[in-house]
Amino acid sequence: MALVDFTVDGHVALVTLNDGENRFNPAFLNAFMGALNDIETNSDATTLVVHSRHEKIFSNGIDLEWLLGVLQNNDLATSKQFFYDLMQVFKRLVTFPLVTIAAISGHAFAGGAIFCSAFDFRFMRTDRGFFCLPEVDLSIPFLPGMNAVLRSAIPEQVLREMQLTGARLTAEMCKAARIVKGAFPGDQLLEETLAFARQVNKQRPIVKALKARLNEPIVHAIEVEDVAFIESGQFHAN
């Protein structure tokens, strides 16, 4: 089974994340970017839905086991390139010329929550899963581009509480804070998300132009502000 695959039905492309907890490592990032490139180039889809095959987890963010191995080997070049590649995935989503929707079918922790925040819309499962930024307990600071992505999806005071306390938000809490557009039981989530996606069929050129202007601060943070932090090689707060 591919790490990431997709189908197209009418104007809706449905991407399935198949890599277990869907943790971010080079293989997963390449597979996801490949799927986006394939959809943009070889389909007429105008709306993108992403969901996870895992019964409990949407994405648990960075593959820390892989990354710690890289850092322990003092392979700074690989760790830097990984963070550049990760941020390019977020940039690709916020500039993607399709309307993007995440069907958060389980836990979205750390980088997984940032990943979700890069989508235009989010729907979340009510009967399982938390939306959480536990980096405060891992001593991992956010890159400026990560903060810019998060601010586009999460109200400032809610984001501040999530970052400084590591609070775990349920789907109902996320809906109340308008982080997600809808919250549904697991057996209804994907169909409700797809129902919304079928209602949204906007032309790629205008979607691309609107997102470029809406998300220009995110792109700037990724392309300009992130560089000094990544090049420092300091990915852990001492």
The three-class DSSP label of residue 96 is coil
pLDDT of residue 112: 98
Task: Tell me the pLDDT band of 233, cut-offs 50, 70 and 90.
Answer: confident
Q: What is the mean pLDDT of residues 120-149?
A: 96
61-115: pLDDT as tens digits: 999 999 989 989 989 999 999 999 999 999 999 999 999 999 999 999 999 999 9
Share of the chain above pLDDT 70, in %: 100
Residue 238 has pLDDT above 80, yes or no: no
pTM above 0.85, yes or no: yes
183-196: pLDDT as tens digits: 999 999 999 999 99
Rounded distance between C-alpha atoms, residue 38 and residue 164, angstroms: 38
Task: Tell me the pLDDT band of 15, cut-offs 50, 70 and 90.
Answer: very high
Q: Which domains occur in the chain, in start order?
A: 4-199 (3.90.226.10)
Helix axes 204-214, 76-95, angle to 10 degrees: 120
